Structure 1
């Protein structure tokens, strides 16, 4: 009986040390962003770019609609010059409430780049990247490959808004590094 009691006590002490601890590999918000981009049909797009332009816009914004053709030309030119060094990701607007709104925008402009689905926005933190200042659309945030903000269309006031500021900054960065040019 004593032996059985000792075995039971040992079992109770040893059991917790034998359990398997599962380690969850949680992604950073930036990893969620780059791993979640899809095309209009929902097919995953691999994002391995040196620079990422997050595009904030909405289908109800007349300035965004007006900018569509120029944006597609700019995207095409940058991809032609710099290939996979650059990627655009449409992320919508803070007032969006569903993926249907994002898809409506993508359909409206027939955009050649991918978007971040609505259900991944909170995890990715793309709206928090805008900071506390009001963000005017259409607008961009330029990120490096680690997710650091390099340039923004906005500033502290509406007077500081320059829609293409991140595009200018990107071009100056890429022109400094001719190694990123496709041959």
Structure 2
């Protein structure tokens, strides 16, 4: 049985609801979750504009993301904002090449933070295409393997 309760394949909607957003210039466009993430490894990126370590890590993650996409890897990043307001989210998310949980969905952002035991940011968790956790500390994996040669990263335990 799939995680969404059906007998079919896993649905990312069971984790994210129906829509994510992606940045298109100065606008944010809604993207159907299952269409965007089907069959992909997904990294949940918990981060915030106000966090200096996050702002230092984001460009490194963006470089790794670009390399993996260029190499044809089935990979996507979903930004889960810990920003304090919509303006901070908009400014920070506008610099990112991936999708995000809509800022207005603060309940979902909180649920994801608890589910994946986020105790500090930046925090990156790599999920398999069926949403199982492959790497609970993917931030360290990206730092150790910036070219993604060992992708999909596995084995790093979640922080306690």
- How far off its partner does 1:42 sit? 2.3
Structural RMSD (CA):
3.3
Number of paired residues? 135
Query: Could you say which residue in structure 2 is the equivalent of 1:88?
Result: 77
Aligned residue for 2:96?
111
Post-superposition, which runs of at least 4 consecutive aligned residues in structure 1 deviate over 6 A? none
The structure whose Rg is larger is 1
Q: What is the rounded CA distance, in whole Å, between the counterparts of 1:97 and 1:62 in structure 2?
A: 15
Listed as ranges, the gaps of 5+ residues in structure 2 are 154-160
Instruction: Specify which structure has the higher proportion of helix.
Output: 1
Q: Is the 8 A contact 1:36 1:120 kept in 2?
A: no
Counterpart in the other structure of 2:18: 35
Of 38, 42, 54, which aligns to 1:64? 54
Normalised by the length of structure 2, the TM-score is 0.67
Taking structure 1 as the reference length, the TM-score comes to 0.60
TM-aligned CA deviation for residue 121 of structure 1 = 4.6
Q: Which runs of 5+ in 1 are unaligned?
A: 1-24, 154-161, 176-183
Q: Per-residue CA shift, 1:29-74, capped at 9, x if unaligned? A: 9415173211122213322242100001110111111223222111
